[in-house]
A and B are shown apart, each in its own frame.
Chain A
Amino acid sequence: MSEATNQMLENLNALAGGLFLLAAFGMVATRQARGCLNLFITQSLLLAASAALLGFRHHSEHLYGVAVVNLISKPLVVPWLLRKTSPEEIYTRREVDQVLNIPTALLMALALTILAYFLGVPLSNAVEAEFRGPNVPIGIAGLLLGAFTLTVRREAVPLLLGVLAMENGAFFAGIAIARNLPMLVELAIATDGLIIVFIMGVLTRAVQKHVGTTAVGEMATLKEAGAEPVKEEAVAK
């Protein structure tokens, strides 16, 4: 392929990476559960796009396969499964009071991204030249931002999507450096993701039914100190 096309593909891939990063920031900051879900779908589409672009660039059908698997499992099956297993109304939930207010959370997310950059660049320099590119640092950033989402969000659906976003991030880095992972493994990992959604959906439904709220991050009663005072009934009957 010509140099110009290669350059264009690499730029498009970097664009997909930039938007991927933006979607990860969005998942930290949106208030609404539905918004979080839409951003996750966007992020997965960008992951598939990046895989397809890299596949085109490096002539690897394997990456096309990865793109297709990701395209089917995450944007399509995950929302469907979520709808089936968890109650419908949790999508209308918004977080009115959050753990951290949004601008602060965004700034900390930015700091994490810079950390990811410092972690990622030595890593991508250690592999061969053709594997380099923005994927590894952006992937690590996606991983760390997913973990950060898990700490700042309280509602059930964004927490679940944070977990899946971590996997998206790990994969985004992986498609650049671990290119020849066997297809069966990719499929198995995708299925794993679906099982995660299923189980967490069931758990959410149970939480909704028995606890009455899906602000699962607020459940914090199991502790040592400050737990229900021991009922020392030292009463002489």
Chain B
Amino acid sequence: MSRRIIFNLVQVLVVLVFAPLASGVLSRLKEMVQSKRGPSIFQPYRDLWKLFHKDEIISEDSSWIFRFTPYIVFVTPIFVALLIPVLTNYPLFFAFMGDMLGGGFVLSLGGFFATLAAVDTANPYGPMGASRTRMVGFLAEPVFMIVFFTVSFVAGSTIPYIVQEKWVTPLANFFMPSHVLLVLAFLMLVLAEGGRIPVDNPTGHFELAMIDESKSLEYSGRGFALMKWGGYMKMFVLMCIFLNVLVTPWGLAHEQALGAVLVAIPLVLFKVFCFLLVLVVIESSLSKLRLFRISEFLGAAFITSVAAMIAQVFLP
């Protein structure tokens, strides 16, 4: 049992350490696709290090929410990392603490506080971005729900570890229509929740058009570093859920040995890298949607997930 606790902690460490790397690789790849050189893949680490050593300036008119939020945004993805399969395909110590629905709620707790903090300082761009984030959030909720319910309908459980087994054995289950359609719907969700194109432009500097970036407009120094790191980790966690539960539930450690778990780390990183390639293709070939077209995008995601459910029900 102590081994399971250790593995759980290893899992959290992996998420903590490698999340900025994933973000750095993504930026570099995007720049390379555009025939530029791009920043080093370790740049996010340098940024975080720099920010931790800078002073923090906090507005006098802000409340405890503003000071408290960076910690919440940093910690919630860690909690979710405890619940999902990152390295192993057998449940770990904290695995039954919450299921996928619970994980989703924990992530949105972080988003909730970030929205409140953006409103807290009375910077005009903060609430604008916050309301847009909420719009994307509530449009994405039904998709989340339907995806989770379909998955639990198929697999008979909402614990990610148990769900993930269902798609692997037998192999024919991988091609079930509900599975493929769920992958499509969840991909659209990842794009929406992670603030990527076509929903939002993560590299934009134009405050009037920001959706997700606006939550960290007012932060500086340590608060900013925590918000950034939390953002990276949220994206990494979403990718892990997507890859390890839905798309490629292979390459995870089967035995309960530390060696197997350590071997699983590069495999997971490789899967993340492949997904980043797909993400780069999507981001480079689409353009950002106009704000009110986002509801159509998420509507399409909703329809895809419902189609997955229907196809599942139609199967004899």
- List residues of chain A with CB under 8 Å of any chain B CB: 4, 7-8, 11-12, 14-15, 17-19, 21-22, 25-26, 29, 102-103, 106, 109-110, 113-114, 117, 121, 132-134, 137-138
Q: How far is the CA of A29 from the CA of B296 in the complex (A)?
A: 9
Residues of A within 8 A of B259 (CB): none
User: B310 and A102: CB pair below 8 A?
Assistant: no
B315 within 8 A of A: yes
Q: How far is the CA of A15 from the CA of B299 in the complex (A)?
A: 21
User: B180 and A18: CB pair below 8 A?
Assistant: yes
User: A110 and B303: CB pair below 8 A?
Assistant: yes
Residues of A within 8 A of B176 (CB): 11, 14-15
Closest to A5 in B: B172
User: A106 and B177: CB pair below 8 A?
Assistant: no
Closest to B298 in A: A103
User: A134 and B175: CB pair below 8 A?
Assistant: no
User: B172 and A8: CB pair below 8 A?
Assistant: yes
User: B315 and A14: CB pair below 8 A?
Assistant: yes
Closest to B171 in A: A8
Given contacts A8-B172, A8-B175, contact A21 B300 (CB under 8 A): no
User: B171 and A18: CB pair below 8 A?
Assistant: no
Interface contact tally, CB-CB below 8 A? 81
Question: Chain B interface residue count: which class?
Answer: 20 to 34
6 pairs, CB–CB < 8 Å, chain A vs chain B: A8-B171, A22-B181, A103-B299, A121-B314, A133-B315, A133-B316
**Which residue from B181, B296, B310 sits with its C-beta under 8 Å from A113?**
B310
Q: How far is the CA of A222 from the CA of B70 in the complex (A)?
A: 65
Interface string of B274-316 (1 = CB under 8 A from A): 0000000000000000000001100110111011101101111
User: A7 and B170: CB pair below 8 A?
Assistant: yes
Given contacts A8-B172, A11-B176, A11-B177, contact A110 B314 (CB under 8 A): no
Closest to A104 in B: B299
User: B316 and A132: CB pair below 8 A?
Assistant: yes
Q: How far is the CA of A184 from the CA of B260 in the complex (A)?
A: 60
**Which residue from B173, B296, B304 sits with its C-beta under 8 Å from A22?**
B304
CB distance from B137 to the nearest CB of A (A): 17
User: B175 and A18: CB pair below 8 A?
Assistant: no
**Which residue from B295, B304, B314, B316 sits with its C-beta under 8 Å from A138?**
B314
Q: How far is the CA of A34 from the CA of B291 in the complex (A)?
A: 23
User: A110 and B175: CB pair below 8 A?
Assistant: no
Given contacts A29-B296, A106-B299, A134-B314, contact A18 B178 (CB under 8 A): yes
Q: How far is the CA of A143 from the CA of B194 in the complex (A)?
A: 37
Residues of A within 8 A of B310 (CB): 21, 113-114, 117
Q: How far is the CA of A26 from the CA of B300 in the complex (A)?
A: 8
Q: How far is the CA of A117 from the CA of B313 in the complex (A)?
A: 9
User: A18 and B299: CB pair below 8 A?
Assistant: no
Closest to A129 in B: B316
User: A17 and B311: CB pair below 8 A?
Assistant: yes
Q: How far is the CA of A5 from the CA of B109 in the complex (A)?
A: 45
Residues of B within 8 A of A133 (CB): 315-316
Residues of B within 8 A of A4 (CB): 170, 172
Closest to A136 in B: B314
Closest to A103 in B: B299
CB distance from B6 to the nearest CB of A (A): 38
Residues of A within 8 A of B171 (CB): 8
User: B314 and A14: CB pair below 8 A?
Assistant: yes
Closest to B292 in A: A101
Closest to B295 in A: A103
Residues of A within 8 A of B175 (CB): 8, 11-12, 15
Closest to B180 in A: A15
CB distance from B312 to the nearest CB of A (A): 9
Residues of B within 8 A of A113 (CB): 307, 310
Residues of B within 8 A of A22 (CB): 181, 184, 303-304, 307
Given contacts A7-B170, A7-B172, contact A137 B314 (CB under 8 A): yes
Q: How far is the CA of A161 from the CA of B283 in the complex (A)?
A: 30
Given contacts A102-B296, A102-B299, A106-B299, contact A21 B311 (CB under 8 A): yes
Residues of B within 8 A of A15 (CB): 175-177, 180
Taking A18-B180, A134-B314 as given, write out 12 further A-B residue pairs in contact, using a Cβ cutoff of 8 Å, ordered by the A residue number.
A7-B172, A8-B171, A11-B175, A14-B315, A19-B177, A21-B307, A106-B302, A110-B303, A117-B313, A117-B314, A134-B315, A137-B314
Q: How far is the CA of A121 from the CA of B307 in the complex (A)?
A: 16
